[in-house]
Amino acid sequence: MAITPEQRAMRYNGYFRRSAGVEDAELTHVGPGTPGGEYFRRFWTPVCMTAQVSETPLLLKVLGEELVAFRDLSGRYGLLHKHCSHRRASLEYGIVAERGIRCCYHGWLFDVDGTILEVPGEPESSPIPGKLCQGAYPVREFNGLLFAYMGPPEHQPEFPLLDTMVQPGNDMVPYAIDYPCNWLQVAENPMDPFHSVFLHTRVTRAHFNPAWGAMPIVRWHPMRGDTGIYLTNTRRWNEYLWVRTAEVFLPAIAQPPDIYQNPDREKFFPRVGITKWTVPTDDASCKIIAWRHFNETLDLDAKGDRDNVGLNKVDFVGQTGVERSYEEGQRMPGDYEAQISQGPITIHADEQLGTTDGGVARYRRMLRNAIRAVAGGDAPPEPVRNADGHIATMAGDVIVRVPPSNADDLALQRELGDRIGAIVESTLELSASERAGVIEERVRAMLEER
């Protein structure tokens, strides 16, 4: 029974408010052979923290596939299909060898690339090793995270080395958080900066600095080549204008700037507090696998806690299901409660989007177009690279002293936010070592010209 506009607007209309009940499968389903799943498989994706991979195999599920990660005794990482090609015993019970992993059931030995090295009990001339490989994926370790490429071998892309992953003097601490809900309702959160005003500040009495409660002027922009979306988020706080850029690279890499930012002095492009991937486990669960960044340009009030970052923990409240009781989550909900409470797979047809949801709508539309393009035979577009050869990113903060205008201060915020955002975007291709200095020079020159 479809609800009418009159019934939708009437009071006490609970009887008529039935769920549409139809999942947006094109965006939310990620298993092998699904449009979304095949799209995800065209990118390198983190699957776990390397600290989770010990001398015993680690059972994983990624994009609906059951896998086993291990590190053999020579130090090489492997990621194989869970079930042994012989009689389907699980390699989570395999024995790690000097080279590869041995199935516990009949001793077949598999190398990290799936090559069968030994088939004990079979004749010495057995043809099995020459005609069969165990399912395996290429992996790469980087700074405490293990990445895998799970797509067509002939389309394997270059490893995504973001400029924020190679900053000098930057301490990147790995963490991973489990979410019992669909990946998209977690991944789209960074394109909704208005939730920081309410969830993180006004409603919950400030998870972060009170300045986060100032209502921002937000613009969303497509990245060059439609490789993602970034926003500019401009706030007035006392004598300062705070222009914040945040970003999401398709399909699900997000970078918010300093999560403990305090706009109490001028700052010119301190970079990100987090680099995170939202990784689908299956259609109804996912993980955030990420780094927290610590360096001398971030968190000048020393609110972060490096020791509270790791497996199902990170150093700001409301991000996991294990740090607090259910009642504590009710009293001061965070991102975790807001996202998982939408249900295992939220029904988009039941939503009522508003103007503050512009980034979410744009992200979904860009994602849908990208999924369809790959399904139609196109390759995902290449992101912009800087002079150092790394993927150039937008996220950072610019805070300048601009006293409130006697005229329309909102117009001033809008103008300067747009112009500073354009300056940040214009420096994408510069070397990382010179970018902050150029941004400061151009912003100061722009302010002097006004």
| Bridge partners, 235 (sequence order) | 242
Residue 199 reports pLDDT greater than 80 = no
Beta-strand pair 116-118/109-110? antiparallel
Q: Considering the domain 44-155 in this protein, what is its CATH number?
A: 2.102.10.10
CA 4 to the chain's CA centroid: 38
Quick check: 146 and 53 in contact, CB under 8 A? yes
pLDDT value, residue 1: 67
pLDDT value, residue 422: 97
Tell me the per-residue pLDDT of 66-101, one tens digit each, with 9 for 90 and over.
Answer: 999 999 999 999 999 999 999 999 999 999 999 999
Q: Mean pLDDT score of the chain, rounded to an integer?
A: 94
Residue 269 reports pLDDT greater than 70 = yes
Tell me the per-residue pLDDT of 332-373, one tens digit each, with 9 for 90 and over.
Answer: 888 999 999 999 999 998 888 999 999 999 999 999 999 999
pTM higher than 0.85, yes or no? yes
pLDDT value, residue 437: 97
Tell me the per-residue pLDDT of 291-325, one tens digit each, with 9 for 90 and over.
Answer: 999 999 999 999 999 999 999 999 988 899 998 99
Q: Rounded distance, CA 46 to CA 278, Å? A: 9
Q: What is the mean pLDDT of residues 7-14?
A: 89
Q: What is the mean pLDDT of residues 145-152?
A: 98
pLDDT value, residue 206: 58
Say if residue 280 is preceded by a cis peptide, omega within 30 of 0: no
pLDDT value, residue 291: 98
Quick check: 182 and 303 in contact, CB under 8 A? no
Residue 214 reports pLDDT greater than 90 = no
Q: What is the mean pLDDT of residues 257-265?
A: 94
Model confidence band, residue 210 (pLDDT cutoffs 50, 70, 90):
confident
Instruction: Express as a percent the part of the chain with pLDDT over 70.
Output: 99
Domain 163-449 is of which CATH architecture? Alpha-Beta Complex (3.90)
Amino acid letter, residue 10? M
Q: Rounded distance, CA 77 to CA 79, Å? A: 7
Higher pLDDT, 124 or 450: 124
Q: What is the mean pLDDT of residues 256-276?
A: 96
> Contacts by 28-33 with C-beta closer than 8 Å and gap 24+?
28/182, 28/183, 28/184, 28/283, 28/345, 29/283, 30/63, 30/64, 30/183, 30/280, 30/282, 30/283, 31/63, 31/64, 31/65, 31/282, 31/283, 32/63, 32/64, 32/65
Please tell me the number of Cα atoms within 13 Å of 224 on its side-chain side.
Answer: 13
Tell me the per-residue pLDDT of 126-138, one tens digit each, with 9 for 90 and over.
Answer: 999 999 999 999 9
Query: Which residue ranges make up each domain of the chain?
Result: 44-155, 163-449
Pick the most confident of 3-17, 59-73, 193-207, 340-354.
Answer: 59-73
Model confidence band, residue 2 (pLDDT cutoffs 50, 70, 90):
confident
Tell me the per-residue pLDDT of 397-422, one tens digit each, with 9 for 90 and over.
Answer: 999 999 887 778 899 999 999 999 99
pLDDT value, residue 408: 84
